[in-house]
Amino acid sequence: MTQKPGKLRAEFRTELPSGWAFDEIEARIGPIRDQLFKQIGQPVRRKEDRRLVTGRGRFTDDFSVPGECYAALVRSPYPHARIKGIDPSAALELPGVLAVYTGVDALADGLGPIPHSPVPSTKFDVRLTAPDGEAPFIGPHLLLPIDKARHVGEAVAVVIADTKARAEDAAERVDVDWEELPHVTDSLEAIRPGSPRLWDEVPDNTLVCSHFGDADATDAAFQSAAHRVRAKFHINRVTAVTIEPRAALADYDKASARSTLYAGSGGAVRQKRELASVLGIDPDDLRVLSYDVGGNFGARNRVYVEFGLILWASRKLERPVKFTATRSEAFLTDYQGRDLHTTVELALDENGQFLAMRADNVSNVGARCVSLSPLSKGSGLITGSYHIPVAHLVARAVFTNTMCTQAYRSSGRPEVTYAIERLVEIAAEQCGFDPIDLRRRNLVSADQMPYRNAVGAIYDSGAYEENMDKAMALFQWPDIAARRDDARARGKLLGVGLANYVESSIGSPVERAEIAVSPDGEVEVVIGTQPSGQGHETSFAQVVADMLQMPVEAVTITLGDTDIVSVGGGSHSGRSMRHAGTVMTMASADLLAEARRRAGAEFGTPAEDLAFEDGAFKCRATNRFLTLSDLSTATAPLAVARTNEMHAPVFPNGTAICEVEIDPDSCQIEITRYASVDDVGRCINPLIVHGQSHGGIAQGVGQAMWEDCAIDPSSGQQIAGSLLDYGMPRADNVPSFDCEIAEVLSPTNPLGIKAGGEGGTTPALATVTLAVLDALRPLGVRDISMPITPERIWQALASAREANMQELVP
């Protein structure tokens, strides 16, 4: 069935850039022997659970400082409006109101913009530039704007009062003199000539326009192709809905001139660096604490204006200031996700071999550019899991009068996976191929790895076809026909959707680990990633426990306090386990080398003659041994630190299959089955990885079925402002999942880790949509957009009926 001409392999096995593969010698770690793994790969119960199930978690709003007061924001009711003046006098008259600050005050105090670095920065990220090839203009992100508000909900003033209720009351009495301006919320509208302009620096709202791949070769392949298909999709805008709303508490100590910020985030180190820059203070004068974080999914990676505002206010007022967003504020002003318009085309030969692909991707970054990660990640993966010899992509990023978008769970990859998988399915239908056969024929094969795709991404490893076979077996694929009949007998339409995916996991390149073994046998690891539910305290401890051959209970992971953790890229882009695992492995090797030296000196034997077994150095001649804790003293503790920089991305991959049943009368959809196989590279803790997959699937399904940050184009208002009107995955609308982990190790890091978690989300938009279309195909439905609500199904059925009728009329 599979046809992989040998010449393709020779042609596309790729030259590897230096530093791509991991070099154990250069990294000064010994060979890693799997046989020694006792904890790695085990479903170890989580260390963090006990405090969380007993109500002793430490979430941001749980902290209070004596004398704290509260911040409330004055927000723009308009998508685009000039600020002609702000009069705080009525607010200041209210009891308990301490201050009202505006952008003019912030400017007078010398506050700078948030130094977002939206262009991904590793050596392997695709290069996004402005249309002229220069660095893109991103729109300065001042804490409070002075000229105009550029989206609904943008804060234009902050009120501080002694209670939260008083601050909110006062915020309503701040009088802003607005001059409404024309606005635009959709990115395709925004690039039309004559559209309202957000920034004078970017007259056509297009801040990024880059080309990738080979346009001429692609054109040539299209011209000679037997088949060509084309489709246009919009991957709708959604928001993270972390169940813990974003919150922060700023405390200023006048005596030391230092500020402390309690703020859950995706990484305290970045918050410290960027907020110190906003305030114009020495980073050493700011301590950021980020303990338990109630979900992130990308939304908490970047700095929020409120964090800077309360730090500034607490320094001016010399009082602690707290801000906790309401859910409505979270809906309006949490960084949002997706919102990509894409046009894709595929050329095939008469046998169904893919020849070439074109894509035109337009990302809506919102009112200013906080992150280009979604556009960038997606750009490298337009060809998906398939071998497509040539491709051409135009990638654009566009300003609109909407909240800024950011990486959201599996940044950029669900979008392009949706596009390629739907396109492949359309090709199968239009050209008369079986959709599974067509996929099989074109999947990148295991012996093509490492494989460079047509836009330059180097897939590290994987067995894509095996994933598909395993997922189909898990799903009991051969039973589909019987289940379809059974559903029909109950008056239901059953549909199945399968999607293959590959995603890149890159993330900021630097990570540091400090490991110390105390004389009483406790191992302390300090690391700069920041979990928000991923269980780092457990899985990281498993890695260090195995490296040092110590029990996992002895290992404590310290994170989230910038007075202790100095370096670290935070948790995003599935980077944590891989970056932390690598640097912890290196630091462990350093620690063992030092311990070996000490043991040799102690025994009076050459260090290299000692055996290391069960956490102790043994002298074979004398049978004496010394444990790591024996080799650590109060005056000379066994302690090391290692910083590592790692650029090569990894490519988690897999296959997911969704089954739905649709009631053709009520148009209700039920997900009746969901199976997935995810290649995460080495899996440290399967309990945790499965949990990540489950949550990821639910978020992808959520976007496909209910979630939508719909914006009314005429008013610029976001329609969903609460959990009453933003549909969410709930216990009663998602099924249990059948998930399997595949482990094809990555050659780019010592443990062979790829990443887990985002793979649940990446294919889910496609699987759900394809399942629904499969169910509705007999009734003539060929397209449906997300979220697939009963109303959309009803409309699709109605227009299919109408089209059928017209065909019948001569």
Partner 1 sequence: MTTVSLTINGDRRQVDVEDRTLLVDLLRETLGMTGTHVGCDTTQCGACTVILDGKAVKSCTILAVMAEGAELRTIEGLADGDTLHPMQQAFCDNHALQCGFCTPGMIMAAVNIIERHGTDIDESLVRRELEGNLCRCTGYHNIVKAVLDVAGKLPRASE
**What residue ranges bind partner 1 (CB under 8 A)?**
43, 45-46, 48-50, 52-57, 59, 61-62, 64, 240-245, 292-295, 297, 326-328, 532-535, 686-688, 690-692, 694-699, 722-724, 728-732, 734, 736-740, 760
Q: Which is nearer to ligand FES, 242 or 371 (CB)?
A: 242
Q: Which is nearer to ligand FES, 136 or 533 (CB)?
A: 533
283 binds, among ligand FES, partner 1, none (CB under 5 to 8 A by kind): none
Q: Which is nearer to ligand FES, 208 or 238 (CB)?
A: 238
- Stretch 245-284: interaction string toward ligand FES, x if CB under 6 A: ----------------------------------------
What is the rounded distance in angstroms from the CA atom of residue 722 to the CA atom of residue 74? Answer: 19
Q: Which is nearer to ligand FES, 223 or 326 (CB)?
A: 326
Q: Residue 421 has what DSSP assignment? A: H
Shortest approach of partner 1 to residue 552 CB, angstroms?
15
Q: Which is nearer to ligand FES, 295 or 509 (CB)?
A: 295
43 binds, among partner 1, ligand FES, none (CB under 5 to 8 A by kind): partner 1
Alpha carbon distances (Å) from 598 to 440, 448, 612, 641: 57, 47, 13, 17
Q: Determine if the peptide bond prior to 787 is cis (ω within 30°).
A: yes
Q: Which is nearer to partner 1, 398 or 675 (CB)?
A: 675
Element (H, E) at 540: helix 536-548
Side-chain half-sphere CA neighbours of 335 within 13 A = 28
Shortest approach of ligand FES to residue 310 CB, angstroms?
22
Shortest approach of ligand FES to residue 64 CB, angstroms?
18
Number of neighbours of residue 108 by Cβ within 10 angstroms: 10
Burial class of 755 by CB neighbour count within 10 A (0 to 12, 13 to 18, 19+): buried
Element (H, E) at 218: helix 215-224
Shortest approach of ligand FES to residue 516 CB, angstroms?
31
Q: Which is nearer to ligand FES, 521 or 735 (CB)?
A: 735
Q: Which tokens belong to 159?
A: 């009120």
How many residues of this chain bind ligand FES (CB under 6 A)?
A: 3
Strand partners of residue 342: 233, 361
Shortest approach of ligand FES to residue 533 CB, angstroms?
5
| 678 phi, psi to nearest 5 deg | -125, 120
Q: Closest residue (Cβ) to ligand FES?
A: 243
Q: Which tokens belong to 641?
A: 């630190």
Q: What sign for the dihedral angle of Cα 371, 376, 377, 379?
A: positive
Length of the chain in terms of residues written: 810
What is the rounded distance in angstroms from the CA atom of residue 785 to the CA atom of residue 792? Answer: 8
Q: Which is nearer to partner 1, 59 or 794 (CB)?
A: 59
Shortest approach of partner 1 to residue 678 CB, angstroms?
13
Q: Is residue 108 a contact point for ligand FES (CB under 6 A)?
A: no
421 binds, among ligand FES, partner 1, none (CB under 5 to 8 A by kind): none
The residue within the footprint of ligand FES, chosen from 165, 243, 636, 798 (CB under 6 A), is 243
Q: Is residue 295 a contact point for ligand FES (CB under 6 A)?
A: yes
Say which residues have a Cβ less than 8 Å from residue 431's Cβ, sequence separation at least 6: 227, 229, 348, 352
Identify the CA nearest to 384 among candidates 284, 329, 437, 451: 451
Shortest approach of ligand FES to residue 730 CB, angstroms?
12
Number of neighbours of residue 93 by Cβ within 10 angstroms: 10
Q: Is residue 533 a contact point for ligand FES (CB under 6 A)?
A: yes
Q: Which is nearer to partner 1, 329 or 524 (CB)?
A: 329
Burial class of 794 by CB neighbour count within 10 A (0 to 12, 13 to 18, 19+): middle
Shortest approach of ligand FES to residue 298 CB, angstroms?
15
Helix axes 576-603, 536-548, angle to 10 degrees: 30
Shortest approach of ligand FES to residue 532 CB, angstroms?
8
Q: Which residues bind to ligand FES, rule: CB under 6 A?
A: 243, 295, 533
